Structure 1
């Protein structure tokens, strides 16, 4: 794959910024077709599908931020000259062709493409059928920006395949694929892993936990829980499970207070057997597999743990490995929790809603990786490169 100069990449992005502004009306009209055809009962999915003026402004901002970032390609990682005279330089390099499979969110069509393109990768965008009109219009904008700068459309391609066609494509793609990022639920991830013939980077479920330690500041705790649960239920960084330490002072009162606050916010509260002894009117969970579920809804579970160790064990058993929080004024307990919990992001006294490229200083993101190779957490511009060794010699042979 030919390496483009930083200048030509940034010219394409500058064109794209102008085109998004000029075609704002067409983008929103295309999105309206998708919204009119969508079943609004799935609130989380509907929220993700909406494109309004604010969303278009966000798209423009994402492209602007990436344009202003340093080019991540061809950056020297290390340099070493061996005793035999070989000079070995390790540099960043593009992946090649990246495929992303996602549902509902048309803004991913902008964020994924701008990141892949600036990192000198081609990208195949496999959006969901629910956003087909929006995605077609946005990719049309990309093609206009590419054409203005003398580049071919194949740098950014939209795939409109059904499930069977996607399966066939994964098994026998018509072009070389170097990386696939499935951005969705476990069924989608399992489907891609089963059929893909190249590397798959997992952008997994949220199912995020918050643990209320015995030394938690109660006012902070309530504030953080309400934000993490209700701020945006469709986000993968929303809170689903709350664990209380059995040694928390005034435990019964605090359980009742939190329950009242959550109900006032419109959150359905489920409880385990121990919490049910206090919150007697709430629905008791009957099947422990619900601890694995990501709700994407105004619903949460409140459970009880004996101490920080049992909280860690429960989180590591059931969470999606995305984000976990401990609420405590005990810094030692917080540090132990953060070291031992197996999540991409671990928090002390803060909402899980900050696991986001923009909020973590990464800027636009392709996804939140819950994988451990080659990166974990927000996949920003720098994370869309791999590496290559350049070895310079003068006739050396191995003996």
Structure 2
């Protein structure tokens, strides 16, 4: 796709905001068709599927924030003149065509597309069948905005394919793909990695940990735990595992206190052997695989560790590499934890719920990357470009 001027891209985004506002009733009605067909027993997925007035307002706000951000394309990353007078610039450039595969959330159809388009990328959107009606009307809004500004609708395209067709497309794409971002559970990610022929940037599972150190402020810890666990269970930044240091003052009483606070707020717990001795009536963790699981539910695992090092080792062994928190009053311990834990975001005395593009000041995000190439963390506008070398000469040859 050709490079577009910034003002043209922003005009499309301005058009899109107006169209979303004017068509909000139709968008919500289309979403209701999806909600009526969905099995509400899967609360996390159902919550992600809902589109209401507040969600439409959020879509419009996401577009506005991206429109106001600086165009990431064509920025000089480095520049030098060599002894042979060659002038070399390293500049940002679009990826080309990005495909995102995602489940349930119709607002991804807005956030992913606005970011990709502003960064001058074509985007192929493969949403889940559970959001079919919602995604179709949002795609039609995008196409209307593009047509209003005399641009081809191929810039933003919803892929109408089932699982078998998607698998075949990944193996033998009918057009050039430069990057695929699977945004969903482990099965989806494994499916894409198995079949894709181009670069895949992983937006991994959550399974986030919080470690209460021996020097933690207990009241603060309870507040952070509750927020991280219960604020939004369908989010990938929600808390699933809690480790309590056995050397904290009043250890057994604090474990009982934590259990009561969690239960009083509707959170069920599973306990390891050490915690089970204090809470014998709670469900025991029988299978080690549970430590790897992202729950997306009102439950969590509660375990005990004897040292900071043990907490770090356990988190690095089982977490999804997304987010991890240490609760401690000791700065040195916090820095050791943050340096040693291998996650995209590490926290000191704060909720994992802040691992989000908007909350971190990045703005709208394509996903939270748990990969290490080319970026880890929120994939915002600045992360949806690659680089390109521009070499200016005057007849130089290599000798």
TM-score, normalized by length of structure 1? 1.00
SS of residue paired to 1:4: coil
Aligned to 2:224: 224
- How far apart are residue 155 of structure 1 and its match? 0.1
Aligned to 2:89: 89
- Where does 1:228-247 land on structure 2 (aligned, <5 Å)? 228-247=228-247
Deviation track 1:147-169 (CA, whole Å, cap 9, x = no partner) reads: 00000110000012111000000
Moved over 3 A (4+): none
Contact 1:129–1:160 (8 Å) recurs in 2: no
- Where does 1:345-356 land on structure 2 (aligned, <5 Å)? 345-356=345-356
Aligned to 1:283: 283
**Is the aligned partner of 1:124 residue 2:118?**
no
Distance between the aligned counterparts of 1:289 and 1:149, measured in 2?
52
**Is the aligned partner of 1:40 residue 2:40?**
yes
Distance between the aligned counterparts of 1:191 and 1:103, measured in 2?
13
Distance between the aligned counterparts of 1:220 and 1:167, measured in 2?
47
- How far apart are residue 185 of structure 1 and its match? 1.1
Distance between the aligned counterparts of 1:236 and 1:243, measured in 2?
19
Aligned to 1:20: 20
Aligned-residue CA RMSD (Å): 0.4
Unaligned runs of 5+ in 2: none
**Is the aligned partner of 1:6 residue 2:6?**
yes
Distance between the aligned counterparts of 2:169 and 2:64, measured in 1?
33
Distance between the aligned counterparts of 2:330 and 2:18, measured in 1?
51
Distance between the aligned counterparts of 1:120 and 1:299, measured in 2?
42
SS of residue paired to 1:35: helix
Deviation track 1:180-232 (CA, whole Å, cap 9, x = no partner) reads: 00001111111111111100000000000000000000010000000000000
- How far apart are residue 307 of structure 1 and its match? 0.4
Contact 1:366–1:380 (8 Å) recurs in 2: yes
Deviation track 1:74-123 (CA, whole Å, cap 9, x = no partner) reads: 00100010011110000000000000000000000000000000000000
SS of residue paired to 2:380: coil
TM-score, normalized by length of structure 2? 1.00
Aligned to 2:301: 301
Distance between the aligned counterparts of 1:34 and 1:315, measured in 2?
37
Aligned to 2:248: 248
Distance between the aligned counterparts of 2:35 and 2:163, measured in 1?
21
Deviation track 1:341-392 (CA, whole Å, cap 9, x = no partner) reads: 0000000000000000000000000000000000000000000000000001
Aligned to 1:185: 185
**Is the aligned partner of 1:312 residue 2:312?**
yes
Aligned to 2:203: 203
Distance between the aligned counterparts of 2:47 and 2:188, measured in 1?
20
SS of residue paired to 1:210: strand
- How far apart are residue 280 of structure 1 and its match? 1.4
Paired residues in the alignment total 399
Distance between the aligned counterparts of 2:311 and 2:190, measured in 1?
28
SS of residue paired to 2:320: coil
Distance between the aligned counterparts of 2:160 and 2:40, measured in 1?
22
